[in-house]
Structure 1
Amino acid sequence: FGSRRGGRSGSDPPQRRDGETSRPFALQGERFERMQIFIKTLTGRKTNFNFEPDNTVRHVKEALQEKEGIQVEQIRLIYSGKQMSDECTLADYSVKPGSTVHMVLQLRG
């Protein structure tokens, strides 16, 4: 409620000042190091996962589906108060090793 800065919604991908969506820079053939992050459910249970910064949010949801049995379409991930978009990467949201991402379920009515 109230006005949002810059008119962006909470689910918009992070933007650089030049208006381009931020992406991590990697040289050809370079691989990112795997990092451990935590996924926290509404019940407060934390589960750890290992991902690379260039993994997409969709990839994280697929890993959650495999481990927790929850359909990808029902999973919403929140980091730093923002809903994460499937096509963005963890690096787009500046997710660092040891970070906690919150999982909420999107129930169909």
Structure 2
Amino acid sequence: MATIEVEIASRRYAVACRDGEEEHLREMAAVVDRKAKEAASALGSLPEARQLLFASLLLADEIKERDEGKAPPPAAEPSYDPAVANALEQLAERMEKLADRLESGRANT
């Protein structure tokens, strides 16, 4: 079992992987890092958890579109769209409230 360091959203992580899969893991970490930077670029300064949340939502959206045969066109550089930023912000707030309710044991109230 190998352990490598990757950098995502300006933070370094030690991650274990099977021997021989180090380069693949580095490539996947680079994809996540790009999405984290895209989220930060679109939404401004974000706490690390929110930046990674938005990065995961952007990646999930791309996967869903590919699965449906609607792969997005490649973009040269991320662009800022206030409507998207606002929608993502509202979604994050709802997810945080739900997480708070789940953590406090009030999920069924």
Is TM more than 0.5 here? no
- Name the TM-score, length of structure 1 as normaliser: 0.25
Higher helix share: 2
**Which structure has more RCO (C-alpha within 8 Å, separation ≥ 6)?**
1
- Name the TM-score, length of structure 2 as normaliser: 0.25
Higher strand share: 1
